[in-house]
Structure 1
Amino acid sequence: MLEIEGVSARYGEAEVLHDVSLRVGEGEVVTLVGRNGAGKTTLLNCVMGLHGSMTGRVRFTGHDVTTAPPHRRARLGLGLVPDDRGMYASLTVEENLTLPAVTGTSAWPLERIYDTFPVLADRRRFPGTKLSGGEQQMLALARVLRAGAGLLLCDEPTEGLAPVIVQRIGEILLEAKRHGVAVLLVEQNLRFATTVADRHYLIAQGRIVESLDNTGVRERESELLAHLGL
């Protein structure tokens, strides 16, 4: 579904990604694990077309989108859930959900969104500034699902959230997977990652250094946590 081939990226003279290649299959959840500053967010931005200084190739659903603008990638079914959640703070929950255009054929109708995210149904008239961090994260996920994304680019969706909210986000990602949605997940919570993901890529200093399955992560949890500085 998503193929990243030999992607390198710079900020000015500093190269932050070095010849990165990975793939995400249809309906697959794949995590990108690494320390802060390893290049994880930059890679998501490259996939979404939000980072200008990039070389390499990005293919999505058979289309070469390397030079495509972000709106075209969105129309093909790429959806970014950024680490700052990217909501419109002055709009209500329902306005945040209905303002973005529906671009994909797999768009979730509003009724299904509210069934899956009942807290958003309860707060549909609330402005974004009145939501808790966990509620904002659910709104960010719901918005891209309603827009019809077939692949979610999720940047640390569990960071700073209470365990009960982390568990709920995991359940939502698994439900999306059951409906054929793929996920490329940036995550430092290894135990959470193994509950939702099929495979894991370890990134260090802008390079993919290893690919692991869930068994490999569990067997080497202490080593990987030390690598992450956690």
Structure 2
Amino acid sequence: MTDTGTDDVRGPVGTTGRATGPTLELSGLSAWYGEARVLTDVDLQVRPGEVVTLVGRNGAGKTTLLRSVMGLHRQVQGTVSWDGNDLGRTSPDRRAKAGIGWVPDDRGIYSTLSVAENLRLPPVVSDAAWSLDRIYEQFPVLHERRDFPGTKLSGGEQQMLAIARVLRMGSRLLLLDEPSEGLAPVIVQRIGEIIRQIKEQGVSVLLVEQNVTFASTVADRHYLLAQGRVVESLDNDSFQSRTTELLEYLGM
């Protein structure tokens, strides 16, 4: 239950505005907490400029999968490949520098720093990085709140800041964990618009989402996880046609 590989990771490639760039591939990924297996032989792919969701009940292993991609969960077997490179033992910070951006479910905002300081703090890792002007144009509320500390932001504003921060770095893949959770419908709609804009810029998104209706408005494909395994892979048309069934399955 140890990972193997190399620290030699090329930086992200691709041109903003076109769906070209690195691909994420998982092959035979398994993960444990102690003796408890959480993921079993997961195969998954996210292509450039593609939005892919992980759908499943609580405890299905969705967040563990994202953490394994980011290198935050280390008790794993199998391959996590990014831009053709096995990430293996590559540390989370080197994965971030290679273009993988992490937006956790708690948003990870530095509460004592202002919005502007949160945006300026992370390093720029590629020429795909969004400028502050562009961030403020796409997220006008962040411009309005730029001098506010993180503790003074609403949940929706914190979510926008968390997404904007990884775009400011130039991440080519966003790992989004439950971005709609606990937010008002109007804010959820805005988050959906932002994800679609990100996709148009050629940035990929791997999205954990319990809100099936929301997922169907932003994603190209969906993986259904049950007890740590991928049990189905659906295109969005098939997913939308089975919304009622999936809601019942998820107990929603």
Q: CA deviation at 1:227?
A: 1.1
Alignment of 1:91-130 (within 5 A): 91-130=113-152
> Which of 168, 178, 181 does residue 146 from structure 1 map onto?
168
Q: Does 1:193 align with 2:215?
A: yes
1:13 alignment partner in structure 2? 35
1:184 alignment partner in structure 2? 206
1:40 alignment partner in structure 2? 62
1:61 alignment partner in structure 2? 83
Query: Equivalents in 1 of 2:200, 2:237: separation in Å?
Result: 22
Q: CA deviation at 1:215?
A: 1.5
Instruction: Report the residue type matching 2:85 in the other structure.
Output: H
Query: Equivalents in 2 of 1:156, 1:189: separation in Å?
Result: 8
| Aligned length, in residue pairs | 230
1:213 alignment partner in structure 2? 235
Query: Equivalents in 2 of 1:68, 1:44: separation in Å?
Result: 15
Query: Equivalents in 1 of 2:213, 2:239: separation in Å?
Result: 9
103-112 vs 138-147, which deviates more? 103-112
CA RMSD, aligned part only?
0.7
Q: CA deviation at 1:64?
A: 1.3
Q: CA deviation at 1:166?
A: 0.4
Instruction: Report the residue type matching 1:107 in the other structure.
Output: A
Query: Equivalents in 1 of 2:236, 2:30: separation in Å?
Result: 27
Q: CA deviation at 1:194?
A: 1.1
SS at match of 1:153: strand
Instruction: Report the residue type matching 2:244 in the other structure.
Output: S
Q: CA deviation at 1:222?
A: 1.5
Query: Equivalents in 1 of 2:237, 2:208: separation in Å?
Result: 19
2:192 alignment partner in structure 1? 170
Q: CA deviation at 1:104?
A: 2.1
Query: Equivalents in 1 of 2:236, 2:41: separation in Å?
Result: 25
Instruction: Report the residue type matching 1:222 in the other structure.
Output: T
Alignment of 1:65-76 (within 5 A): 65-76=87-98
* Structure 2 length-normalised TM: 0.90
Instruction: Report the residue type matching 1:113 in the other structure.
Output: I
Q: CA deviation at 1:66?
A: 2.1
Instruction: Specify every segment of 5 or more residues in structure 2 that has no aligned partner in the other structure, as ranges.
Output: 1-22
SS at match of 1:138: helix
Which string of whole-angstrom CA distances, capped at 9 and with x for unpartnered residues, describes residues 28-86 of structure 1? Answer: 00000001110000000000000010000000111211221111111110000000000
Instruction: Specify every segment of 5 or more residues in structure 1 that has no aligned partner in the other structure, as ranges.
Output: none
Query: Equivalents in 1 of 2:131, 2:148: separation in Å?
Result: 20
Instruction: Report the residue type matching 1:141 in the other structure.
Output: I
Query: Equivalents in 2 of 1:214, 1:4: separation in Å?
Result: 21
Instruction: Report the residue type matching 1:70 in the other structure.
Output: P
Q: Does 1:155 align with 2:177?
A: yes
2:11 alignment partner in structure 1? none
Structure 1 runs of 4+ with >6 Å offset: none
* Structure 1 length-normalised TM: 0.99
Q: CA deviation at 1:187?
A: 0.5
Query: Equivalents in 1 of 2:118, 2:196: separation in Å?
Result: 23
Q: Does 1:22 align with 2:44?
A: yes
- Identity over the aligned pairs, expressed in percent? 66
